[in-house]
Structure 1
Amino acid sequence: MKLLYLTLLGLLLLSYQSAGKKSNEYDDNDFAEFEDDDGEVTVEEDADFPSESEDTPQQQQQQQQSDRVQQDVQDDEDDDDDGTVETDEDEFDHFTDEDEFEGFDRDIHPAKGKSHEVPDLKIAKVPIHLRTNWDSFYLEMLMLAGLGVYFLNFLAGKTKNSKLAQAWLTSHKQLLEDNFTIVGDDGTSKEVTSGTLMKESENIYALWCSGRMCVEGMLVELKLIKRQDLINVMSTMLKPAADQIVVKVSMDPSMEKFCFCIAQKKVAAKMQKDLLDLSQFTEKKNIDKYNIPSSFQLLSEIGEATAMVLDKKVCQALDRFENQIESIHISDQYSGPKNQYDDNQTKMPEVKQTIVFCFNVAGKGKTKTTDMENMKPLMQLVFYVVDKVARVSLSKEGKQKAEKNRQKAEEVFLKSAHAQRQEAAQLRREEKRRAEKERIMNEEDPDKARKWEERQNKQELKRKQAKTKMMKVKGM
């Protein structure tokens, strides 16, 4: 088998070599006859080869296929050309829309039917927000300056009031500790504290003292000028005011029953109008028999109690500190100012045995720390008057007069309360009657309305007859 395969392979090689030699011979000698003597090639017509004008059927078929392909390509190009609408406008023609863009590139692409002239557009000058012209911000600068002044005044006024309060406490602390067991207890802790000046506001300070014979307690209030408030400072320049020290002493219930007040004339008139005890129990008295300045006004209930209080030492203090002592109010019926908002008060107000001192600090608002230290003699006057009132003992006639005045005041109050209750009941009856009348009128029944009117008239007639009988019995 191997020999057979080798024999076949050799025959194939020999046939391939012979075919190659024949093709080379043909290639070299095919056009030899067309060469001239000069070496130029000339083409002669030969019957064996077809001419250029005469194509073979195979070539004609190929030519027809190529023509058909070219025709299809040409048709596709024509279709593409038909889908594209050629116009004179370019891709930026939408900028020439006058509704959207005014005057854009009108020289190059003018709008149809419109003028080629481009209007002269002027761009408005927009001001810059943050300009260097400070005249436009003078209101803001004034406001900032005002706030700065107010803030500085607040700090200065707050600091000055604090210094004045501490100066008063430092100068009076030893005197207070000599007269009271507890001085400056704030009441916030279970253990007793001392030397605490309670700050109620930037211009009001308070000090509580207790632990003295015949005294339940004493409250000292330093009512200083509102120096932290710029508006109040400006008003003080126009109308000067002074710092005040108010001492309120709660006395033991064993104090005698009487009302007394010595105060500056303008202040005395206001106190008698506003305070319930002074308006009910005291009258204006003459001060000629007392050696006190004429600028004071005396309000007294019992003469012998007034004589005991206004002794020689008190009168000398009033004369010496005429401008600093504003009022001294002593009362066993002290209930504070009248309640202007509760007109229907049906219970007697709660009263306490109280002595109230009101002192003005020297300086007329221009107070210094030395002025607060100089108030020490007035605090000594407070303890002297407290001891004096605790020792006051009225005679039998004085006690009867005081008791009679208090009973009379209680009767007046009860009558007023009864009249107020009757008035309130009458208002309730009227309201009830009005509501019932409206209900009957809404029913639209004339017979019911007539009967109701007759019934009301009979009730009114009975009330009038009852009042007439009562008046006759009283007359007999």
Structure 2
Amino acid sequence: MKSWIFFCLLFWLSPLTAKQQDVEKEDNDFAEFEDEEEFVVEPSSEKSRSADGDNDKQTNKEGAEPVTEDVEEDESTVETEDEEFEHFIDEDEFEGFEKEKSQAAKPKDGQPELKMADVPVHLRTNWDSFYVEILMLAGLGVYFLNFLQGKSKNHKLAQSWLNAHRDILEQNFSIVGDDGTSKDAASGTLMKESENVYALWCSGRTCVEGMLVELKFLKRQDLISSISNMLKPSSDQIVIQVDLDQKVMDKFVFAIVQKKSCSKLHKELLDLNQFTEKKNVDKKLDIPGSFQVLSEIMEATTAVLDKKVCQVLQKYESSVEYIHFSDQYAGIKSTDDGQPSKMPDVKPVLMFVFNVPGKGKSKPSDMDSMKPLLQMVFHCIDKISRLQLSREAKQKAEKNRQRAEEEYERLTHSQRQEAAQLRREEKRRAEKERLLNEEDPDKARKLEERENRRELKRKQPKMKMMKVQG
């Protein structure tokens, strides 16, 4: 009896076990992916949840072993960024993609392989490429600073010279520093011609039309000039030009110059070149050996170089560049190759050129030490206005000027002759061209005969007819 009951139970439970094995097989379809990673299955709807619940209940009713899952219905799964793009790295999904990519990257036959250049990302790693620009900016900065400093120093030197000599100028002139821009005369104006050149015009004195003072400083505002001055030092200069009234000064030309610049000045200035010669000065005058005298009339030279002037030259030997007195002052000689066609305009002028102490390293305090030089200028003006040469000296000076005028006339006469000869040649050439272009043979023959007669007449010697009284 017991055995029969056992076989009945076995027969009844056999289909249930088979169905349970089928369910377990269906549940284990994704078992092959469980070893690699875990999947979180989100229920699509409430219906799927109820269907799963019914299956679980059915299996429980039939007596099979229940399959439990720890899935909470109220909780929702959150997909991370890695899970969202997980399918892009699936090997089965992109099978053979890496192989095709490597084959496409290979260059074809006959084509060079392209290589990407390494371009720097940040600028701070490439300062080596901007050395030239950095040096240029630094050079511009140095040039600008030197310009400001040099400009300021030249202005200070000019103002210090005017302040130091203002009293002497106002004592000798009624107007000091007139700029000429206004109708009414003004005083105390220092005209700025450039960053290193200043001018001062003075007028209102007997025997003097005017006096121009030029302060020619070094080009301290220019960096290149500053460097050249360091290598070859030079001095600032004060140039004083005194224009005298006509017939105030006797006729003579005189200059005392530093020997190092005597030859150059003698060639450049027209009046010195025409009228003066290098002469030795009397040893009694006590003039330093660094000076050379250019004189036309020795009487005028000894009269100008009196005791007071010689003392100033002795004391300020390095400060005096040259002193030039001339009634035939015409400026610098023309550099043109052609000869002058007329006499140059001349006027009586006294020129003084002084070097500022310091040899390029001048200070505003050095301007006070140049007061005796300006006092010597006014002493020479009074000396020249009172100077009267002897009769022989005046005759010699007059002969020298007549000879100079004859020289100019001879030069201009030769120039006129050359111009006339050129005009004749041009006229003769035009006649020959007209003769060659003439189509009528009779007219051409007549023109040729006329031209021949002119040539014969021109070649015949000129004879003068003289009347003989019987």
TM beyond 0.5: yes
Residue matched to 2:345: 350
* CA distance in 2: counterparts of 1:128 and 1:157, whole angstroms: 44
Q: 1:438 to 1:130 in 2, by over 3 A?
A: farther
Q: 1:442 to 1:317 in 2, by over 3 A?
A: same
Are 1:202 and 2:195 an aligned pair? yes
Which residues of 2 match residues 375-414 of structure 1 at below 5 A? 375-414=370-409
Residue matched to 2:369: 374
* CA distance in 2: counterparts of 1:448 and 1:343, whole angstroms: 43
* CA distance in 2: counterparts of 1:164 and 1:123, whole angstroms: 68
RMSD of aligned Cα (Å): 2.8
User: What are the ranges of 5 or more consecutive residues in structure 2 without an aligned counterpart?
Assistant: 1-93, 108-112, 465-470
Aligned partner (choices 132, 145, 151) of residue 152 of structure 1: 145
Residue matched to 1:258: 252
Residue matched to 2:359: 364
Amino acid at match of 1:364: K
Which residues of 2 match residues 124-139 of structure 1 at below 5 A? 124-125=116-117, 127-128=119-120, 131-132=123-124, 133-139=126-132
Is the partner of 1:218 in helix, strand or coil? Answer: strand
Residue matched to 1:333: 328
**1:227-277 Cα shifts (integer Å, max 9, x gaps):** 001111111112111000000001121211111111112322112211111
Aligned residues: 360
Residue matched to 2:23: none
Residue matched to 1:34: none
Amino acid at match of 1:261: A
Which residues of 2 match residues 15-414 of structure 1 at below 5 A? 118-119=105-106, 123-125=115-117, 127-128=119-120, 131-132=123-124, 133-253=126-246, 254-289=248-283, 290-341=285-336, 343=338, 345-414=340-409
The alpha-carbon deviation at position 140 of structure 1 amounts to 0.7
**1:63-119 Cα shifts (integer Å, max 9, x gaps):** xxxxxxxxxxxxxxxxxxxxxxxxxxxxxxxxxxxxxxxxxx9x78x99xxx96542
* CA distance in 2: counterparts of 1:362 and 1:403, whole angstroms: 40
* CA distance in 1: counterparts of 2:288 and 2:410, whole angstroms: 41
* CA distance in 1: counterparts of 2:449 and 2:438, whole angstroms: 17
Return structure 1 stretches of 4+ with deviation > 3 angstroms: 115-118, 120-123, 431-467
Q: 1:280 to 1:129 in 2, by over 3 A?
A: farther
Amino acid at match of 2:362: T
The alpha-carbon deviation at position 147 of structure 1 amounts to 0.8
**1:295-330 Cα shifts (integer Å, max 9, x gaps):** 111111111111110111111111111111011100
**1:330-349 Cα shifts (integer Å, max 9, x gaps):** 01111111222383532221
* CA distance in 2: counterparts of 1:142 and 1:342, whole angstroms: 46
Amino acid at match of 1:354: V
**1:18-37 Cα shifts (integer Å, max 9, x gaps):** xxxxxxxxxxxxxxxxxxxx
TM-score scaled by length of structure 2: 0.71
| Identity among equivalent pairs (%) | 64
Residue matched to 2:29: none
Amino acid at match of 2:250: E
* CA distance in 2: counterparts of 1:281 and 1:380, whole angstroms: 28
Q: Is the 8 A contact 2:323 2:351 kept in 1?
A: yes
* CA distance in 1: counterparts of 2:229 and 2:175, whole angstroms: 36
Amino acid at match of 2:408: F
Q: 1:169 to 1:427 in 2, by over 3 A?
A: same
Greater alpha carbon shift after TM alignment, 443-452 vs 304-313: 443-452
Q: Is the 8 A contact 2:235 2:355 kept in 1?
A: yes
* CA distance in 1: counterparts of 2:213 and 2:279, whole angstroms: 29
The alpha-carbon deviation at position 378 of structure 1 amounts to 0.6
Amino acid at match of 1:244: Q
* CA distance in 1: counterparts of 2:459 and 2:182, whole angstroms: 66
Q: Is the 8 A contact 2:339 2:411 kept in 1?
A: no
Q: 1:292 to 1:455 in 2, by over 3 A?
A: farther
Q: 1:402 to 1:116 in 2, by over 3 A?
A: closer
Q: Which has the larger radius of gyration?
A: 1
The alpha-carbon deviation at position 447 of structure 1 amounts to 9.0
Is the partner of 2:167 in helix, strand or coil? Answer: helix
Is the partner of 1:343 in helix, strand or coil? Answer: coil
Is the partner of 2:333 in helix, strand or coil? Answer: coil
Q: 1:442 to 1:155 in 2, by over 3 A?
A: farther
Amino acid at match of 2:372: P
Q: 1:117 to 1:137 in 2, by over 3 A?
A: closer
Q: Is the 8 A contact 2:435 2:448 kept in 1?
A: no
Is the partner of 1:317 in helix, strand or coil? Answer: helix
Q: 1:118 to 1:232 in 2, by over 3 A?
A: closer
Greater alpha carbon shift after TM alignment, 286-295 vs 275-284: 286-295
* CA distance in 2: counterparts of 1:158 and 1:129, whole angstroms: 46
Amino acid at match of 1:397: E
Residue matched to 1:41: none
The alpha-carbon deviation at position 199 of structure 1 amounts to 0.3
* CA distance in 2: counterparts of 1:241 and 1:452, whole angstroms: 72
The alpha-carbon deviation at position 435 of structure 1 amounts to 4.5
